[in-house]
Structure 1
Amino acid sequence: MKTLIKWSLALLAAVLLTSLALLNQGEVSLRWDVWQIDTSASFVLALAIVAVLVLYLVLRLWIWLWSLPGKWAHHRLVKRYQQAETSLTRGLIAQEAADWSQAEKQLIKTAKLSQNGVMHYLTAAKMAAMQQADQRRDQYLKQAKLAYPDQSLTIGLVEARLISESDSKLAVVILAELHKQHPKHRVVLQEYIKLLRQLKQLTRLHELMPVIRKVSGLSRPDLTQLETDVLAMQLAQAPDYETLEQQWQALTHKQKLNPQIMVEYIKASMKAEQLNGLSEWIEKALKAQWDESLVYYFGRIQFGPAYDRFKKAQAWLKNHPDSAVLYLTLGRLACQSQLWGQAHDYFKQSLKLQPELETFHAFAQCYEAEGEDRQAALVYKQAMLELDKPE
């Protein structure tokens, strides 16, 4: 439609000019000293129009020549970007095909040409890491930092992830610095928490808990699990029994009954040879929630009459008839109570459900306590045969 209107206007202008020329409305006389030129007004008008058009074309040519270097540079830049995008695509395809070497080669080849060069460097660093080429990995990360200082957060996160397995302490330092610079960044905080949990850095986790509750974005179950992990680690790392008891008494009743927390308390108490009351705590916890790790330690505690604990553990069989750990505990308690026949049966049932080296060892020790060294030797031999079986 616009083109039709333009052509119509041009045609109208041509008709008007032609009509004006045919009518020959007036003459123009130009005099300069002794020179004089007489011509029609239509010719002068046509000449003026031609002059304007020539001037317009000259200006357009000059503007085009003036902008030519910039256009050429832009053309080259676009071509470089296209090359970089092509290399990026090929690199990502090679990555999906698990061709780490080819992916690294394609990505780093045009990293300096790309609008998104930081992605080239970081992905190439990942590919180098997949090939255990730590030197190249570090080189690409260094290049990314120099070329894209404004992307320090993203680069730092990728670097921490890549080196966490080989140098977890350095990864923690990097994440600590990133968290210091960006205290409300959720991803940084979550990565920092994850690594601190792996390294069991209890003090730092404990300090971060108020921030974690406000900023981390963890779901309620994940946050509860983290708090449980921190409390369990706190008990596991208690320097002495007095500190352990202080920490234990500071917990709520619900926290004490948590199996993960209670297991650490029981292990630390057994190490300190403070066994009084442990079996009662396990019974309370198992009433609230069945947990085989607590069942296991119920058979390891040697404090008070074993027969009483044996009868209580027997009652658990009704609801858990297929628990190898429960049969192991019953075997130990029966053996401590010198109920040899029942002990043998329980150990055999546990081995039938789940043949474990510890169960063989407990079974053999029971025979030794009974004075049946020959039978104990046979159990040890059976354990060796079990261990030699192909997986």
Structure 2
Amino acid sequence: MKSVIWLLLLFTLAVLLALFARENNGYALLFFNQWRMELSLNAFVLLFVFLLGGGYGLLKLLDWLVSMPGNVRQYQAARRASNAGKYHREALLAMFEGRHLRAERNLRVALASQDNPELRLADTLIAVRASHSCRDFERRDAYLAQAREIGGPRSLARLMLEAELLGEQYRTREALDLLHQVYAISPKLTSALKLELKLRQQENHPARVIELADMLERSEAIDAGQAFRVRAQARLAQLKLVPMDSRELERWWASLGKDERHQPRLAAAAAREFGRLALIERAETIVVEALESNWDVSLLEVYGELGRMDGKGDAVKRLARAEEWLRHHPNDHSLLLALGRLCRDAALWGKARTYLEASVAVTATPVAHAELGQLLEQLDEREEANEQYRASLGLALDLLERRG
């Protein structure tokens, strides 16, 4: 529709110009020194339009000739940028496909054609990751040196990538030094905190792991469940790291939250530490409270060992409590095993044998067979004891084969 309107306007203008030229009887008189020229007004208008158009065309030609070198350089730069962009896209696709060697080759070509410093830095860092994935560490370090030259010493992207790669090589100290530089630029960078958490776990630094887990949970970088598991693992590491005396252990236990104190593995480990210090009643309280919250095999195992720990404990009371649990968990082989151990430690040989045989009948385990074998050996039933030992060894070998 627009083209039709334009055609109508052009035809109208042509008609008006033709009418003007036919009806116009004017003339133009031009003087230049002693020269005089007389022209019809129509001829003057046509001559003026021709000269104006010719002058404009000449100026455009001169401008094109003058700007030709710059245009050539601009064209070459655009061609180089297009070529670099092509290889950059192919390299990214190869990276996502897991073809790291092809990605590195494409990036090498892209870098040769790339003039933009920011894009050069990005391509260099991708090449660093690709070379690292190919385990070509010499080439990776060469690309890292290029990245330092392009981005400078405070390039956050380069520092984070280098720290991550060094962490993957278990070069923990070097990676942590780089993270200190990252924190100087961005003190609360979430990705840096996550990477440090991983490195501190490698380094076995539980106090810092707990601190980082709290920070990441508050910033919602990790969910509450993940933070809880990380903290629980760090608490276990704290127990193994340096043996504590009774005051230190009590202070450490009091610093835990309620959910942590009821975590089965953590409660079992803490109870064993209290038992090591001959604080049997404290260990028993920890196990009982945790069992009431979370019924777990590891806690039952510790409860069954309480009688063998040094100290003064009420064996009859413990046995009565365990038998009360049995009413609610009649087919729990771990509870039956714990009852057998408690009875054996209390010198109740008949009940111990009954409970251990029941545990084996419910679920045969290497530990239950071994416990029953030791009891039968004490009762001077050596042949039956040897049968239990053989059964224990056979189950243990089966478990090793399945895991191997």
Q: TM-score, normalised by structure 2?
A: 0.77
**Residue 48 of structure 1: how far off its partner (Å):** 0.8
**Residue 53 of structure 1: how far off its partner (Å):** 0.7
Letter in 2 for 1:336: D
For residue 188 of structure 2, give the secondary structure of its aligned residue in structure 1. coil
Is residue 175 of structure 2 the alignment partner of residue 163 of structure 1? Answer: no
CA distance in 1, matches of 2:206, 2:397: 40
Letter in 2 for 1:101: L
**Residue 310 of structure 1: how far off its partner (Å):** 4.1
- The aligned residue for residue 94 of structure 1 is 94
**Residue 56 of structure 1: how far off its partner (Å):** 1.7
1:107 and 1:371, CA in 2 relative to 1: closer, same or farther beyond 3 A?
farther
- The aligned residue for residue 187 of structure 1 is 191
Is residue 48 of structure 2 the alignment partner of residue 39 of structure 1? Answer: no
**Contact 1:236/1:265 (8 A) holds in 2:** no
Question: 124-133 or 149-158, which moves further after superposition?
Answer: 149-158
Is residue 305 of structure 2 the alignment partner of residue 300 of structure 1? Answer: yes
Letter in 2 for 1:124: A
1:266 and 1:26, CA in 2 relative to 1: closer, same or farther beyond 3 A?
same
Letter in 2 for 1:288: S
CA distance in 2, matches of 1:103, 1:319: 62
- The aligned residue for residue 205 of structure 2 is 201
- The aligned residue for residue 252 of structure 2 is 247
1:35 and 1:91, CA in 2 relative to 1: closer, same or farther beyond 3 A?
closer
**Residue 68 of structure 1: how far off its partner (Å):** 3.7
Letter in 2 for 1:186: T
Is residue 349 of structure 2 the alignment partner of residue 345 of structure 1? Answer: no
For residue 176 of structure 2, give the secondary structure of its aligned residue in structure 1. helix
**Residue 279 of structure 1: how far off its partner (Å):** 1.6
Q: Deviations over 1:315-338 (max 9, x none)?
A: 444555665544443443343343
- The aligned residue for residue 282 of structure 2 is 277
**Residue 387 of structure 1: how far off its partner (Å):** 5.2
Aligned residues: 388
Q: TM-score, normalised by structure 1?
A: 0.79
**Residue 265 of structure 1: how far off its partner (Å):** 2.0
- The aligned residue for residue 22 of structure 1 is 22
- The aligned residue for residue 344 of structure 2 is 335
CA distance in 2, matches of 1:267, 1:384: 26
**Residue 71 of structure 1: how far off its partner (Å):** 3.8
**Contact 1:328/1:350 (8 A) holds in 2:** no
Q: How does 1:52-201 map to 2 (within 5 A)?
A: 52-111=52-111, 113=113, 116-149=119-152, 152-166=155-169, 167-201=171-205
CA distance in 1, matches of 2:64, 2:130: 46
**Contact 2:94/2:102 (8 A) holds in 1:** yes
**Residue 76 of structure 1: how far off its partner (Å):** 3.2
1:283 and 1:92, CA in 2 relative to 1: closer, same or farther beyond 3 A?
same
For residue 25 of structure 1, give the secondary structure of its aligned residue in structure 2. coil
Question: 155-164 or 304-313, which moves further after superposition?
Answer: 304-313
Q: Deviations over 1:209-265 (max 9, x none)?
A: 775565454434444555555555545445531322232345566653443442342
CA distance in 2, matches of 1:331, 1:232: 28
**Contact 1:351/1:360 (8 A) holds in 2:** no
**Residue 112 of structure 1: how far off its partner (Å):** 5.2
1:18 and 1:82, CA in 2 relative to 1: closer, same or farther beyond 3 A?
same
Q: Deviations over 1:5-56 (max 9, x none)?
A: 5555554554444444333522233344554333222212111101111122
From 211, 220, 223, give the equivalent of 1:219. 223
CA distance in 2, matches of 1:261, 1:138: 43
- The aligned residue for residue 294 of structure 2 is 289
CA distance in 2, matches of 1:247, 1:190: 25
For residue 141 of structure 2, give the secondary structure of its aligned residue in structure 1. helix
Percent identity for Structure 1 against Structure 2 = 23
CA distance in 1, matches of 2:372, 2:83: 70
1:231 and 1:307, CA in 2 relative to 1: closer, same or farther beyond 3 A?
same
For residue 135 of structure 2, give the secondary structure of its aligned residue in structure 1. coil
For residue 263 of structure 1, give the secondary structure of its aligned residue in structure 2. helix
CA distance in 1, matches of 2:21, 2:73: 49
Any gaps of 5 or more consecutive residues in structure 2?
none
**Residue 126 of structure 1: how far off its partner (Å):** 3.1
**Residue 148 of structure 1: how far off its partner (Å):** 3.4
**Contact 2:334/2:359 (8 A) holds in 1:** no
- The aligned residue for residue 271 of structure 2 is 266
For residue 168 of structure 2, give the secondary structure of its aligned residue in structure 1. coil
**Residue 295 of structure 1: how far off its partner (Å):** 1.8
**Contact 1:236/1:268 (8 A) holds in 2:** no
For residue 110 of structure 1, give the secondary structure of its aligned residue in structure 2. helix
1:383 and 1:252, CA in 2 relative to 1: closer, same or farther beyond 3 A?
closer
1:187 and 1:96, CA in 2 relative to 1: closer, same or farther beyond 3 A?
closer
Q: Deviations over 1:270-318 (max 9, x none)?
A: 4445434312321122112223222222223324354543443344445
Letter in 1 for 2:252: Q
**Contact 2:172/2:202 (8 A) holds in 1:** no
CA distance in 1, matches of 2:134, 2:369: 43
CA distance in 2, matches of 1:137, 1:66: 46
Question: 58-67 or 370-379, which moves further after superposition?
Answer: 370-379
